[in-house]
Each structure stands twice: as structure tokens, then as C-alpha cells.
Amino acid sequence: MTTAELPTIDPIAEAIAVADQYTEPEPALEGEPTAAKDILIIDYSGDLEKVWATMILASTSAAMGVKTRVFVTFWGLQVFVKDSKRITGENWMQKMLSFMQRPGISHRKLSKMNFMGMGPWMMGVLAKKYGVASPKELLEAAQALGVEFIPCQMTMDMFGLKREDMIDGMSEPVGAATVIGLISENSIPLFI
Amino acid sequence: MTTAELPTIDPIAEAIAVADQYTEPEPALEGEPTAAKDILIIDYSGDLEKVWATMILASTSAAMGVKTRVFVTFWGLQVFVKDSKRITGENWMQKMLSFMQRPGISHRKLSKMNFMGMGPWMMGVLAKKYGVASPKELLEAAQALGVEFIPCQMTMDMFGLKREDMIDGMSEPVGAATVIGLISENSIPLFI
Amino acid sequence: MTTAELPTIDPIAEAIAVADQYTEPEPALEGEPTAAKDILIIDYSGDLEKVWATMILASTSAAMGVKTRVFVTFWGLQVFVKDSKRITGENWMQKMLSFMQRPGISHRKLSKMNFMGMGPWMMGVLAKKYGVASPKELLEAAQALGVEFIPCQMTMDMFGLKREDMIDGMSEPVGAATVIGLISENSIPLFI
């Protein structure tokens, strides 16, 4: 198989197509549908497979018209550093942490079966072959569809990350109180 | 201790007994109980301890009369491949992935302290000693109690899994849109 | 930087201050606020970063007046063994498990970049530098603010843990049925 044989992917169209599959209501659903709910993903992990899950759920949710927010914190925040950045942070400890684990959505590793990058490479090839968009493509789709990506202020401080280190289009950093506020109102949380 | 001294376990009776413990209402519960809710477990991990958590919560929930669905995706889907299958997939990459990490609920590893299988073996012995059913027994109980196990279509495609590779009694594969649809209606999600 | 330069931290005041940041309502929040909800954290992991997330969310939530419960189970239960205990359990397998992974909130490891303890040490220094309380300080704050920490009976049995092994102030051990009961009533679950 050569790259030329791989299908081209339009992730926004794909997210909308995935959402459009959901035309028929679930037959077995009991209970009254309640007021429209928001979805709040707490994106805690920087592992490739978890980032993928976050992006698939967020872009699908937004394509279905559900208000969707993603709070990115701890390892998860490293994913939203620009791919072009190599070393981040202000003091040697922060610089060392970024050196040991390269930030950016295109440099994620699997939590298992990473095999020096062979696992992620195989996942990428299989995803392309079966028409699944990459995490980066899904992130762009999610942003285009209106998903809010909200950085954790405390993580920004601890890792010495600055706004100019992060990808464009993120919301203002907030703290845990905003997360609890959203949950105790109408947001359904998914801790990924 | 010999195997002969270990208690025999009937996981359905156990799940029902666990559920029956919950006869007395929680004293400190404030607020009006709202309409009956469903539970939707998103089973993302193939690690032994996470599979155990999924099966205990799903079988208990069903035994308490709560409509319970488990969406099995990514590493979690490997758990539902038949124990007898060794290599799955259609191309060499998919075959290699299944070879590197043996699928099937009886071949799960701990995410830590695995020690070449000694950790899971000790967990198994301790579980039996204290009357806790194995993940496989709990899966059978959950199915008997009406839990729906729903495979993720995208994962089926990426790993080259076919319906005949999977255990009996699973639902039709669906996509992320069905998950979001359930959450935005009346299902409480647990991402495990 | 010497330890003398580090700020002193009052975690209860900090949790309340974090909560007080949330004075202004979120501008983009749609939908009617529904009845007050409880928060139920299922604390499954013993990893330093997950314990930190649990403690930050629980103490902030309680400081905001939200009824907050933390069900501690599997690896998560090891965190609530007294720091002074070294070996726990009644039989050799249980003793060996506690020997291989030291229990207690002050002995947590990172799930990645642990580097023989250097990662957790750097995290600790950075946290102090930026005024973030340690997991242990946050636990004390959470207890002072009324968070209920509820041990899992099944995990107590499997690991051979006794009430006198655990920190003071924990609730009576319960099982999965209580967790499902809370979720199916009014508690929003976070599986961490």
C-alpha cells in the first residue's frame, strides 16, 4: 500500500457525516428526555489514544449541535502546545519536563505498545486506510464546529506555559472552580 | 491454601446480593430524586483492573434494575474478542497488533505490577479467596442480567475485527454519534 | 531557589479562594439550571497526577458548597492507608503487593516520567513555587470542608486492609450498589 492509495479525509464533513448517522432514535430509550445538556470533557491525558477519543467525541458532539467544552489540564495541556515548539517553560525543571516528553498534538505516544513510535505509526496508517481522521485533523474540525478548548490556569503556571506557546483559538485559562460550576449546572462531565 | 478450599461463586447471585445490600436509602442524600436514569459505561481500557471495574459496576447496575449499556472501544474492544482467538485482523499490521497483545477477557494484564503475569495471578487468587467473581464470570452475569455490550464500529474497522471474532450476544456496532445521543438524552456516562 | 523562598500554603484558604474566583457566571451557559447536584468522584487510580486531580476537584467542589463524595477503590484505596504504614495485609500475597507499591498519599508515583522519583520531586517543587497545595494538604482541606471519603469494601477485603490501617475520618466501607444508587439518584460521577 502506498500513500497515494489512501483516501483523502475532510474531517469536518466526516464529523457531520458521523453525526448524521444518528437519524433514528434509539428504540430502547426509557424516560423523558430532559432539558438540553452540555458536554464537558476533562482532558487529562496526553496519550495518543485518549487524545483521539477526546477529539472524536468533541467533534461529533459539536456536529450534533450539543454545546461542547474541553477543559485541558495536566498532561492533556501539552497536547495543545504548538507542534513547532520544542522546549517550553521558564526554569530548568519546566524545560526538562518538556524535553523529556515532546509537546504538540502531532507528537503523541500510545500508553502501551508504543515500541519507539512504531505503534503510533501503525495506528496512523490503519486510521488513514479506514477513513478515520487524525487527532490533528479532528482538532481543527472541532474548532471549526465551535468546540471551546479551555486551558487549566494551574497547569499553565506549573509547566511555565505562555499563551503564545499554545495553538490559536483557545479560550482564556480558568481554574477548577469553573469546572465544578459547569458540572453543578447543566454540563455532563467525561473525565478522559 | 489449596484450590479446594476456595468458595464457589455464582456471579449472578452475587451481583443480585450486592445490589440487595442497597436496601436502606442513603441518609445524607439531598435534592429531589429525578427521573430514572440509564448508565452508559464507555469501556476504553483493556487493562485487567479497569475491565473488572466495568464488569462489577455493569452487573450491579443491571441487578438493581437500572438500564445499563457498555460501549466498548479501542483497547476495550479487545476484551470482547473470543478467548479462543489468538490472531485477529486482515492485514499484517492488524495481525501484529493482536499478536503483541493477546485479546480475550481471560488474558488481561494489570496496568502496573503485572510482573510477567504474577500480579494478575495473585489478584485472581485473592479474588477467589474473598468471594469476588472473575471478570469473565461477571461478564456472563452482566449479559444474563440484560446489560447491552455495544462494539465501536470504527475500532472494529481499524483492528480488522469481524463479528465472528467477538463473543456471542453483543449488540450491533455503532459510532460516536450514538454515544453522544445517549448522553445528551438520559444516560449518565462513566468513561473507564 | 531554596526552600526558604517558597510560599507557605493554607490549603483550605486556597480551596476557598479558588472557589471564590467563580463569582461571575459563565456567559455562554444555555439551559435552565436544574436542581442542585452532588458530585461523586470514583477514585480508582493511585497515580500521583490522578490523586492530585481528585483532591483539587473535591476540595474546590466542597468549598463551593456542593455535596461531595469520593469513593476510593482498587489502587485508589492504597492512597488512604496511613503514610506511616509500610506493609499491610494478612497473608503473604497481600503483604507482597503492599511491599511492591508503597501505600500512603505521600508516596505516590507519576504514571509516566517518574524517573526513580525525580518526576514527582520536580512536580512538588514546581507546585510549591506556584502556590499549589500538595495532595496531602488538599486531602486535609477536603476533609475539613466536609468531603466524604468512602472506602470500597471489596478492595479492603482483597488487599487485607483494616480500618486501623486507614487514615482517620473515613466513612464506613460500602460496595458497588451504593455507588450505583448515588448515580441513579442525583450524583454526577467522575471516574478518575
**Using one digit for the tens of pLDDT, what is the confidence trace for B50-83?**
999 999 999 999 999 999 999 999 999 999 999 9
Query: What's the CA angle centered on B117, arms B112 and B118, to 5 degrees?
Result: 85
Residue, of A32 and C35, whose pLDDT is higher? C35
Residues of B in contact with C185 (CB under 8 A): 26, 29, 33-34
Q: Evaluate if residue C8 carries a pLDDT over 90.
A: no
Calpha distance A83→A81 (Å, rounded): 6
Under DSSP, the state recorded for A173 is P
- The pTM assigned to this predicted structure is 0.88
Under DSSP, the state recorded for C97 is H
Q: Does A185 lie at the interface with C, CB-CB under 8 angstroms?
A: yes
Per-residue confidence (pLDDT) for residue B1, from 0 to 100: 45
Average pLDDT on C2-14 reads: 65
Per-residue confidence (pLDDT) for residue B32, from 0 to 100: 47
Residue, of B17 and B90, whose pLDDT is higher? B90
Contacts with C165 (C-beta within 8 Å, 6 or more apart), sequence order: C81, C82, C85, C88
- Phi and psi at residue A39, in whole multiples of 5°? -115, 130
Q: Give me the DSSP letters along chain B.
A: --GGGSPP--HHHHHHHHHHTTTSPPTT--S---S--EEEEEE----HHHHHHHHHHHHHHHHTT--EEEEE-THHHHTTB-TT-----SSHHHHHHHHHS--SGGG---SS--GGGHHHHHHHHHHHHTTPPPHHHHHHHHHHTT-EEEEBHHHHHHTT--GGGBPTT----B-HHHHHHHHHTTEEEEE-
Of A60-69, B58-67, C87-96, minimum mean pLDDT range: C87-96
Average pLDDT on C30-39 reads: 64
Measure CB to CB from residue B177 to each of A53, A64, A127 and give the nearest one.
Answer: A64
Per-residue confidence (pLDDT) for residue C19, from 0 to 100: 81
Per-residue confidence (pLDDT) for residue C28, from 0 to 100: 42
Residues of A in contact with B44 (CB under 8 A): 49-50, 53, 192
Averaged pLDDT score across all residues of chain A: 88
pLDDT band at C24 (very low <50, low <70, confident <90, very high): very low
> What is the grid cell recorded at C37?
447536584
Q: In angstroms, what separates the C-alpha of B114 from chain A's closest C-alpha?
A: 13
Average pLDDT on C127-140 reads: 94
Return the partners of chain C (3 or more C-beta pairs < 8 Å). Answer: A, B
> What is the grid cell recorded at C188?
454526577
Measure CB to CB from residue B66 to each of C157, C159, C180 and give the nearest one.
Answer: C180
> What is the grid cell recorded at A104?
504538540
Q: Evaluate if residue B27 carries a pLDDT over 50.
A: no
Is-contact C176 C73, C-beta < 8 A? no
Between the alpha carbon of residue C174 and those of residues B27, B52, C73, C110, the distances in Å are 14, 17, 10, 28
Angle between helices A118-129 and B92-100 (to 10 degrees): 140
Residues of A in contact with B178 (CB under 8 A): 21-22, 26
Predicted confidence (pLDDT) per residue in A101-149, tens digit: 899 999 999 988 887 788 899 899 999 999 999 999 999 999 999 999 9
> What is the grid cell recorded at B136?
469473565
pLDDT band at C7 (very low <50, low <70, confident <90, very high): low
Residue, of A179 and A6, whose pLDDT is higher? A179
Q: What is the dihedral of CA A113, A118, A121, A126, to 10 degrees?
A: -60
pLDDT band at B115 (very low <50, low <70, confident <90, very high): confident
Residue identified by cell 493482536 is: B98
Name the amino acid, one letter, at A71. F
Predicted confidence (pLDDT) per residue in C55-73, tens digit: 999 999 999 999 999 999 9
Q: In angstroms, what separates the C-alpha of B79 from chain A's closest C-alpha?
A: 15
Residues of B in contact with A31 (CB under 8 A): 35-38, 186
Could you report the predicted ipTM of this complex, rounded to two decimals? Answer: 0.86
Q: Give me the DSSP letters along C2-48.
A: -GGGSPP--HHHHHHHHHHTTTSPPTT--S---S--EEEEEE----H
Q: Evaluate if residue A36 carries a pLDDT over 80.
A: no
Average pLDDT on C166-178 reads: 97
Q: Chain B interface, mutation test: which of A23, A38, A61, most B Cβ atoms within 10 Å?
A: A61
Give the pairing type, strands A38-43 and A187-191: parallel
Q: Do A19 and B75 touch (CB under 8 A)?
A: no
Calpha distance A62→C138 (Å, rounded): 35
Residues of A in contact with B157 (CB under 8 A): 130, 132
Contacts with C146 (C-beta within 8 Å, 6 or more apart), sequence order: C62, C68
pLDDT band at B106 (very low <50, low <70, confident <90, very high): very high
Per-residue confidence (pLDDT) for residue A8, from 0 to 100: 64
Q: Evaluate if residue C15 carries a pLDDT over 90.
A: no
Q: Do B130 and C158 touch (CB under 8 A)?
A: yes
Under DSSP, the state recorded for A43 is E
Between the alpha carbon of residue C42 and those of residues B77, B149, C14, C114, the distances in Å are 23, 22, 23, 24
Q: Chain C interface, mutation test: which of A34, A79, A180, most C Cβ atoms within 10 Å?
A: A180
- Phi and psi at residue C57, in whole multiples of 5°? -65, -40
Is-contact A70 A41, C-beta < 8 A? yes
Measure CB to CB from residue C185 to each of B29, B123, B130 and give the nearest one.
Answer: B29
Predicted confidence (pLDDT) per residue in C155-167, tens digit: 999 999 999 999 9
Q: Chain B interface, mutation test: which of A26, A37, A51, A191, most B Cβ atoms within 10 Å?
A: A26
Contacts with A7 (C-beta within 8 Å, 6 or more apart), sequence order: A128, A129, A131
Which of C40, C9, C25 is CA-nearest to residue C184? C40
Question: How much of chain B, in percent, has pLDDT values that exceed 90?
Answer: 69
pLDDT band at A27 (very low <50, low <70, confident <90, very high): very low
Per-residue confidence (pLDDT) for residue A33, from 0 to 100: 46
Residues of B in contact with C188 (CB under 8 A): 188
Q: In angstroms, what separates the C-alpha of A38 from chain B's closest C-alpha?
A: 7
Cβ neighbours, 10 Å, residue B96: 16
Residues of A in contact with C192 (CB under 8 A): 191
Longest Cα separation, chain B: 57
Q: Evaluate if residue B45 carries a pLDDT over 70.
A: yes
- Strands in C187-191's sheet, in edge-to-edge order, are C148-151, C68-72, C38-43, C187-191
pLDDT band at A26 (very low <50, low <70, confident <90, very high): very low
Q: Do B180 and A60 touch (CB under 8 A)?
A: yes
Is-contact B186 A33, C-beta < 8 A? yes
Residues of A in contact with C115 (CB under 8 A): 100
Averaged pLDDT score across all residues of chain B: 88
Residues of A in contact with C20 (CB under 8 A): 177
Cβ neighbours, 10 Å, residue A78: 23
pLDDT band at A190 (very low <50, low <70, confident <90, very high): very high
Q: Do B29 and C38 touch (CB under 8 A)?
A: yes
Per-residue confidence (pLDDT) for residue B104, from 0 to 100: 95
Average pLDDT on B167-183 reads: 97
End-to-end CA distance of chain B: 34
Return the partners of chain A (3 or more C-beta pairs < 8 Å). Answer: B, C
Per-residue confidence (pLDDT) for residue C181, from 0 to 100: 96
Predicted confidence (pLDDT) per residue in B153-166, tens digit: 999 999 999 999 99
Query: What's the CA angle centered on B191, arms C76 and B120, to 5 degrees?
Result: 50
Residues in B 42-71 with any Cβ partner in A closer than 8 A: 42, 44, 67
Per-residue confidence (pLDDT) for residue A13, from 0 to 100: 83
Give the pairing type, strands A68-72 and C38-43: unpaired
Per-residue confidence (pLDDT) for residue B25, from 0 to 100: 46
Calpha distance B7→B17 (Å, rounded): 16
End-to-end CA distance of chain A: 34
- Phi and psi at residue A183, in whole multiples of 5°? -65, -45
Q: Do A75 and C132 touch (CB under 8 A)?
A: no
